[in-house]
Structure 1
Amino acid sequence: MRILHTSDWHIGRTFHGHSTLDALRGVLDALIAQVREHDVDVVLVAGDVFDSAAPAADCYTLLSDTLRGLRDAGAHVIVTSGNHDSAARLGFQAALLRDGIHVLTDPLAVGTPITVADEHGPVHIYGIPFLEPALLRHVWPGIRTQEAALTHAMDLVRADLSARCAGARSVAVAHCFAAGVEPTPLLERDIQQGGLDVVPIAAFDGVDYAALGHIHGRQQLAPHIRYAGAPLHYSFGEGDKPRGSWLVDLDADGLADVTWLPLPVPRRVVTLTAPLEELLADPRFADAEDAWVCAEYTDDLPQRDPLRRLQARFAHCAKVVHAPARVGVSDSRTYAERVRAARSDRELVDAFLVHVRDGAGATDRERELIDDVLADRVRVEATA
């Protein structure tokens, strides 16, 4: 059996205020083409189908079109809900979906698989929606952490498998933060790394493959435990991470092979670091002119209207950060102490500039202006 593992579509998410819906539609169309090209039997979507609990109407349209396209390409489709999804909204029409498309959002159905057969017999696929411990305590007493919730869910999976024929092949689909992953900074917006929400990979013992979602970059925790990541770059921190999905082959004995299928990147995301004038003119940045750009300009002082100026060259510059290369002057004195130590009006102004500009005092041109202003003040006072 051939399985395609994908996750974290985040339909409806914006990128620094820009819609990603058209770009995502193109990428999901490419995924449908891969399903057809590689004769995929089952597509697994491991949570975070939508980016919010209340997606707009056009988000539902894209999801419906994609699910229909995957099924028309010949694959069964199994979708689970993630922490960004509303399980109720995502699953409300599950019973109305066409044959071969399954949306699994009910934690009480965790131990009941979707079974798909091939020439070697059945493969039991257990969808585990995102499990919020606070919402499960009334049905699973004592559950207070993600670790406990996922362990209990997988215990239900293992119990169901033990009642079936020995050697039955199986797959688990879950949305969680598993021990050993490397989260992208500023990306997984809701991950808590304190320990309560970390699920040990031993929780997934007993299945031939665990298709995980929640982390936006592909990762392999064990040969049979993997994250596929998101199909689009949703932050600048992801710029160096490939986009795609895992193609999983099961033979008669279980996991046989896993290969990576890359997806197209509609527009690269890059971070450029240099003084502002270099960013505006240096030819070495020419290949980024059609990319999403985060510009980190390293001038000592903030520059005038940097976003507008950068967008004249980089039409898709979406973020500007002032990241001065110079390290601020270390001074243990308080500002009041520095003011009291000033011996002249010019030193007083310079002390203020050093304070508010992280150690950068007046430039030569600014000193000339300061001297002119102070000289005018002296002349005014002399004639008063």
Structure 2
Amino acid sequence: MKILHTSDWHIGKQLHKYDLSEDLELFFTWLIKYIKSENIDVLLVSGDIFDQANPSQAAYKQYYDLLKNLIQLDCKIILTGGNHDSPTVLNAPAELLKAFDITVIGGATEAVEDMFVTVDKNNEKLVVAAVPFLKDRDIRKSAAGESYATKIEQIKSGLRTYFSNVTAHYSRHHTNQVFILMGHLYVQGSELSESERDIQIGNQAGVEANMFGEIPHYVALGHIHKPQVISQEQNIHYCGSPIPLSFSEKEDRKQINVITIENNKISQVAIIPIPKHRNLLTFEGSLQEVEEKLNAYSEVTTLISLAEIIVNEESESLEKRQAFDALTDSQLNSKIEIVKSRLNFKSKIRGASDAFAVGTDVADVTPMQMFEKKLELQSELENTDELKNAFREILEELKL
């Protein structure tokens, strides 16, 4: 039996207002061909199906078009919700999708056993615990007036207890069968990029890898976009996002993981690279240097390459600002589209521009970064760490 692990599709994602639906469509086309050619029996998608809790109509269409193509294959599909997903949105068609051998678990179920899926194919048996992103209320009871430190410890303890109950259910009812545990969370020691939204209050409630115990034969995680193995001995894997979702991921080699089961045990975990269809590029230097680098770029890719430019100049002047604006608005190279830009001055006129570098678009600044910068400007404030933690909790509740 062959199982394919993927996650963090983020359907509907825009990179600095640039639509990435073409990138995803090319990945989905490749994915379907791969499933068919390699006779994949089970497809696992570990959360963040959509980029927004309320997807656009275009995002819905891309999702259902993919499912329409997948159901024509002899492949069991299991999808779970991530912190970007709305459980209600994912679960809405769940009963209908069951008829097509698609299991969707958008949010934590009341009973642990309702997240267990069994697969029996090719004389091999597999048990999957399809655990989605767990919200605060799923793992603990909050109390008025509790401290931030208390909340963090309760979250960690709640996660350990929750996954302990999951593995205990497997031990009671499915022992001696290959066991894959899905999850969407931050495990301490994993390497982040700038595109993951804060999860469990700024990632401070990340859990230790040993929380999953030694029972699962493979832990199929989502949330972290950089592919990585957290624990080789315990087979804890982030497969990562299928396409780069931020410029911090421009050097990542995107992949899917394929797990092979033979004679009732995992015989192989293969890392399969995903074809790359566009480059994300960063050009930094003076105005002249950046312009020269843009003109010199010559690589041809399936999709136009996207660039961020960072211009560093000595002193601030209106002339340089105008030249910078002209550079970002120009189409110097038909192979590149500039989607992010920043102008820095070593010495500049003090004023409102002190908050962020000249040329920074407010769309490029996260709410947390804006709040932290505001706190820096209000130097008389005390207990800023507590204010930051409170603001993180608000962002988590609002899914921002």
Q: Normalised by the size of structure 1, how large is the TM-score?
A: 0.78
Asked if residue 297 in structure 1 is aligned to residue 343 in structure 2, the reply is: no
Alpha-carbon distance change, 305 to 288 in structure 1, aligned in 2, over 3 angstroms: farther
Residue 305 of structure 1, CA deviation = 4.3
Distance 1:84 1:271, change over 3 A: same
Distance 1:103 1:109, change over 3 A: farther
Question: CA offsets per residue over residues 312-365 of structure 1, 9 Å max, x none?
Answer: 2144111111245xx66xxxxxxxxxxxxxxxxxxxxxxxx776799xxxxxxx
CA distance in 2, matches of 1:41, 1:307: 52
Say if 2:271 is the partner of 1:260: yes
Structure 1 equivalent of residue 25 of structure 2 = 25
Amino acid at match of 2:132: P
Aligned residue in 1 for 2:156: 147
Which residue in 2 is equivalent to 1:285?
297
Are 1:73 and 2:73 matched, yes or no?
yes
Residues 9-20 of structure 1 mapped to structure 2, 5 A cutoff: 9-20=9-20
Contact kept? 1:307, 1:317, Cα under 8 Å: no
Determine the structure 2 residue equivalent to 1:181. 190
Q: Which amino acid letter does the alignment assign opposite residue 105 of structure 2?
A: L
Cα distance in 2 for partners of 1:233, 1:157 equals 32
Partner of residue 168 from structure 2, selected from 141, 159, 173 = 159
Structure 1 stretch displaced more, 253-262 or 241-250: 253-262
C-alpha contact (below 8 Å) 1:228/1:246 kept by paired residues:
yes
Aligned to 1:346: none
- The aligned residue for residue 209 of structure 2 is 201
Instruction: Write the letter of the residue equivalent to 2:87.
Output: A
Measure, in 1, the Cα distance between the counterparts of 2:165 and 2:86.
Answer: 23
Q: Counterparts of 1:127-138 in structure 2 under 5 Å?
A: 127-137=130-140
Contact 1:146 1:199 in 2 (8 A): no
Contact 1:137 1:143 in 2 (8 A): no
**Which structure 1 segments of 5+ residues have no match?**
329-352, 359-384
Instruction: Go from structure 1 to structure 2 and tell me whether the alpha carbon gap of 1:78 and 1:109 turns closer, same or farther (over 3 Å shift).
Output: farther
Q: Distance in 2 between matches of 1:38 and 1:160?
A: 32
The alignment's TM-score, normalised by the length of structure 2, stands at: 0.75
Aligned: 1:320 with 2:341:
yes
**What is the Cα deviation at residue 16 of structure 1?**
0.7
Aligned-partner Cα distance in 2 for 1:75–1:237: 34
Percent of residue pairs identical = 27
Question: Aligned partner of 1:148: which letter?
Answer: S
| Post-superposition offset of 1:10 | 0.7
* Letter in structure 1 aligned against 2:331: A
CA offsets per residue over residues 275-325 of structure 1, 9 Å max, x none? 21122234543448941001112222452242442432144111111245x
Which residue pairs with 1:117 in the alignment? 120
Which structure has the larger Rg over C-alpha atoms? 1
Contact 2:81 2:107 in 1 (8 A): no
Aligned to 2:179: 170
Q: 2:260 aligns with which of 249, 254, 273?
A: 249
Cα pair distance change 1:171/1:297, threshold 3 Å? same
Superimposed CA distance per residue, residues 175-222 of structure 1 (whole angstroms, 9 cap, x where no aligned partner): 0001110111x3212236766521211122211111000011101001
What is the distance in 1 between the residues matched to 2:310 and 2:27? 29
